[in-house]
């Protein structure tokens, strides 16, 4: 799009308004807009970034859900050993530590 504007500005400067070439140039430029390689790369980068962000968000949500589940198990009176059958010691410790922070 920037290239089209630049070409039109150059044409305005070089070609008189009543010239037939200028009319034809306007018809050509007003037609199909080509996508520049830089625009394609930008779109590709944005799509990759969105996909990575979504994946990270899912992992963060899953981790938070595990911590919440462990905290609920503790609140219900399950023992450490019972909780560690399903969750890792690191997750258990994180749940304990975040409970201390909330209190």
- Tens digit of pLDDT for each residue in 22-80? 666 656 655 555 667 888 899 999 999 999 999 999 999 999 999 999 999 999 999 99
pLDDT of residue 79: 95
Location of structure tokens 């779109």: 43
Per-residue pLDDT at 103 exceeds 70: no
pTM reported for the whole predicted model: 0.55
Location of structure tokens 């530590």: 97
CA–CA dist 95, 89 (Å, integer): 10
pLDDT of residue 9: 79
């Amino acid at each position: 799009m920037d290239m089209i504007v630049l070409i039109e500005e150059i044409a305005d400067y070089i070609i008189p308004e009543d010239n037939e070439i200028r009319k034809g140039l306007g018809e050509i430029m007003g037609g199909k807009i080509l996508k520049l390689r830089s625009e394609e790369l930008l779109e590709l980068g944005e799509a990759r970034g969105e996909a990575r962000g979504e994946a990270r968000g899912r992992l963060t949500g899953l981790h938070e859900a595990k911590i919440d589940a462990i905290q609920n198990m503790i609140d219900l009176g399950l023992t450490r050993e019972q909780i560690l059958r399903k969750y890792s010691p690191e997750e258990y410790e994180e749940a304990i530590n975040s409970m201390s922070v909330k209190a």
